[in-house]
Amino acid sequence: MLKTETVALGIGLLAQLLFSSRIVLQWVQSERARRVLVPALFWKISLVSSLLMIGYGMLRHDPVILGAQLISYGIYIRNLQLLGDWRKLAPAFWVGAYVLPLLALAGFVVGTPHFSLQTMLHTPIPRGWLVLGAVGQGVFLLRFVFQWLYSERKGASVLPLGFWVVSLVGSGLILAYALLRADAVLLLGNAFGTVVYARNIVLMRREQRQVVAAAAKVPQ
């Protein structure tokens, strides 16, 4: 059991390291441009990180993490498609991106000594904690649903102000869940993320004020 927990921790920490690296990448580029930018690499790193977190959720038998990551995974792929970068990836990457999660889920349903769907369905996690975690992940996922619909309307991958506001709220709820679960992986990932989300909100509000001020100066 200890070995499985150690492997899970290693996978989770690697996933959060990658998640944090994408945020740092986005943050640095945005600070340089003095406005919020989202490079294609942000979504590529997100996809790999999410795949690792799917494995982490299975090993932890945590329905909150697993459910959230499965939905996020599909949204990351869609953003790469909207950016036009999905076509540029090697066909082997496409196959891996689609097949690996399906194989992992199949193994999870069949069950192994290390992870199984039956074990997760009989989780010892208190119901109140699960509700808190589910609400937090639901809010956190809502940001990508919002972003996805917004991007579909624009015809391009865009991260609007609402995305960062919802991210901040969801991250705070997940932090509370992580504290209750003593989950170091969720704690590390979300503690850092809240700082970046808050900073992006500041940058976007500043950018919006500048646009309004510039428009006010234009002679009618």
* pLDDT per residue as tens digits for the range 30-80: 778 777 677 888 889 999 999 999 999 898 888 888 888 888 899 889 889
Closest by Cα among 61, 53, 55, 190 to 125:
61
Three-point CA angle 160, 82, 155, nearest 5°: 60
Residue 219 — pLDDT band, cuts 50, 70, 90?
A: low
- Is the confidence at residue 218, as pLDDT, over 70? no
Mean pLDDT, the chain, rounded, equals 84
- Assigned token pair, 157: 């991958």
Confidence of residue 2 (pLDDT cuts 50, 70, 90): low
Residue 113 backbone phi and psi in degrees, to 5: -60, -20
pLDDT tens readout for residues 130-174: 888 889 888 887 887 888 888 888 887 777 888 889 889 988 898
Does position 183 have pLDDT exceeding 90, yes or no? no
Buried b (16+ CB within 10 A) or exposed e, 54-71: bbbbbbbbbbbbbbbbee
Query: What was the pLDDT predicted at 220?
Result: 58
Rounded Cα gap, residues 180 and 50, in angstroms: 22
pTM score of the predicted model: 0.74
